[in-house]
Structure 1
Amino acid sequence: MEFGMKLHFQITKLAFAISLVVTGNTQVNAKETASLIEQSLPVASSKPLNEPIFAAPPLPPGTGAPGRRSEAGTRGCEMAGKPVASSQQRLFNALAPVYKSVDVNSGVDSEVVLGLTTAARPTFWFYVPYLSPSTYGEFVLEDEAGKLSVYSVALNQIPGIIGLTLSPTATSLEIGKRYRWYFNVYCQKDNELFRFVEGDIERLQLNPSLQNQLEQASLQQKVRLYAANGIWYDSLTIAAELHRKSLNDPNWATLLRTVGLSEFAQEPIVSHTTLEKK
């Protein structure tokens, strides 16, 4: 495929030593499964939890090209905003879980960026340190058939976290299908690709028991139920809503910490926009 620069990866057989990147030595041990969608998701206890605990689901077989949660790019961008936020530097990052994988042929470590959702048009979250008007963004969603949906993203005047929600008029994600997403940042001066991150998202169907619990739950309880069942994007989006209402709400920081992204917990959410196609 080609947009800005060619992103080609050779799909290899991966022997997955599955371990979610988290703070400390916590590891996720998961049984092999034929399909995340065919698998009945565990139902969280009805007992209220004090904090959301993200339970990473097993990585499904057939996962293809590795992703990239933190920025990639080799060229500079004249007059581009410096990646500085708070009192220290932060890299362009997707706020998503990462699995470690090993290529059985080469033995080289790589990472698989994959999160689950139940939403037909979910929200994706990123930390972006690059400022307008020297840079601009482009979000691309690719389905299993290779069809691309390309969206323009206006960046902000200050570094921070942004949420990107698919438009109500966009084609909804299909249950049981995996989609590849790319978030590219370009230099305004020459329209050349500057930095990018990429990963996968998969939509699943809720089982009736969990659906029933969610219908009766508060927002805080929904964050924990989604997290306990490994549904990352739904949990994080609700946590973001709670965080915007009260900076003291612990759910946002706790979720980010469980996937090794605690450094972004105190960064401001500077925008939440609806994507429109180019």
Structure 2
Amino acid sequence: MIDKSTIKFAFVTVLAIAINTSDEKNSMASNPKSKLPSLQEIAALPPVPSRGTPNGQRTPGGTRTPDGKIDGKIGACKPTDKLLTALVPEDAKGLTTVEHPVFWFYIPYAPKEVHSVEFSLHDQQETTTIYRIPLQLTKTPGIYSISLPPNSEKALKLNEPYHWYFKLNCDPQEKLENDIVLDGWVTRVQPNTSQIIWYDKLTDLSKRLFSNPKNSQVKKDWEEFLKSVGLEGLAQVPVVN
């Protein structure tokens, strides 16, 4: 029997490869429709390795109604139809080939509704903080990017997992019990077409969508990519930076 998690990771891999083979010099709208492989071909691809790290958390806890909406507030924040979400696979692990990757989050709150936001990146043992920055939101709700600064001190080393945290608090008094915390992992690797390079492909598609929000092929690629990891509910949300 084919393992479901293997199929899911492999499907994401195949989808990313299909998108990567598009001619980036031409308009996305002119690219022909990619043919998806068979179930047997998908199952033959390897899953993304765990690298000894636990799963992260791409959304906060919360009670859902039968129609999938959130029932009640999270922390001190107001109730929203969609959760604060890190745009990562379900286990919140992803790969990159660049030294300074970009991280993407859906923030459902307006700037005036949020008191504090912080992003931090640590080594696997969490003995060293690579990067920590408080953020000022200006254009949310929407999909928001966080880039590591382009200097050697913040560069990711090859094949080393890094643990990131995203904290948001809507409480003016910043009580710790009202922190909303997401976390996940990023590992820099050499380019490898047998695995999904999640952060790189997500950043490429996000930038294309931001520059060409009405391009039908870009929108389709974006929707299919998010759907491959169960984030299709965010496909119509605007990319705000």
Could you state the TM-score of these two structures normalised by the residue count of structure 1? 0.62
Structure 1 residue 246 displacement after superposition: 1.5
Letter in 1 for 2:199: Y
Contact conserved, 1:51 with 1:254, CA < 8 A, in 2? no
Q: What is aligned with 1:125?
A: 104
Q: What is aligned with 1:50?
A: 33
Q: 1:190 to 1:234 in 2, by over 3 A?
A: same
Q: What is aligned with 2:82?
A: 90
More helix by share: 2
Q: What CA deviation, in whole Å up to 9, does each residue of 1:175-225 have, x standing for no partner?
A: 110001110002351123431211111100126xx6xxxxxxxxxxxxxxx
Q: 1:230 to 1:187 in 2, by over 3 A?
A: same
1:137-216 paired onto structure 2 within 5 Å? 137-146=117-126, 147-148=128-129, 149-169=131-151, 170-192=153-175, 193-206=178-191
Structure 1 residue 144 displacement after superposition: 2.3
Identity of counterpart residues, as a percentage? Answer: 30
The RMSD of aligned alpha carbons is 3.1
Provide structure 1 residue ranges, at least 5 long, that are not aligned to the other structure.
Answer: 1-16, 21-25, 31-42, 84-88, 99-111, 211-227, 272-278
2:205 and 2:163 map into 1 onto residues whose CA distance is: 24
1:190 and 1:240 map into 2 onto residues whose CA distance is: 34
Provide structure 2 residue ranges, at least 5 long, that are not aligned to the other structure.
Answer: 12-16, 23-31, 37-41, 63-72
Contact conserved, 1:82 with 1:129, CA < 8 A, in 2? no
2:237 and 2:74 map into 1 onto residues whose CA distance is: 26
Q: 1:57 to 1:131 in 2, by over 3 A?
A: farther
1:171 and 1:194 map into 2 onto residues whose CA distance is: 26
Aligned pair 1:268/2:238, yes or no? Answer: yes
Q: What is aligned with 1:245?
A: 211
Aligned residues: 198
Q: What is aligned with 1:68?
A: 57
Q: What CA deviation, in whole Å up to 9, does each residue of 1:102-153 have, x standing for no partner?
A: xxxxxxxxxx310100010000011011222332210010112421231111
- Compare 197-206 and 145-154 and name the one that shifted more: 145-154
2:51 and 2:195 map into 1 onto residues whose CA distance is: 21
Contact conserved, 1:44 with 1:229, CA < 8 A, in 2? no
Structure 1 residue 242 displacement after superposition: 1.1
More strand by share: 1
1:96 and 1:82 map into 2 onto residues whose CA distance is: 23
Aligned pair 1:27/2:8, yes or no? Answer: yes
Contact conserved, 2:205 with 2:222, CA < 8 A, in 1? yes
Letter in 2 for 1:164: I
Q: 1:139 to 1:46 in 2, by over 3 A?
A: closer
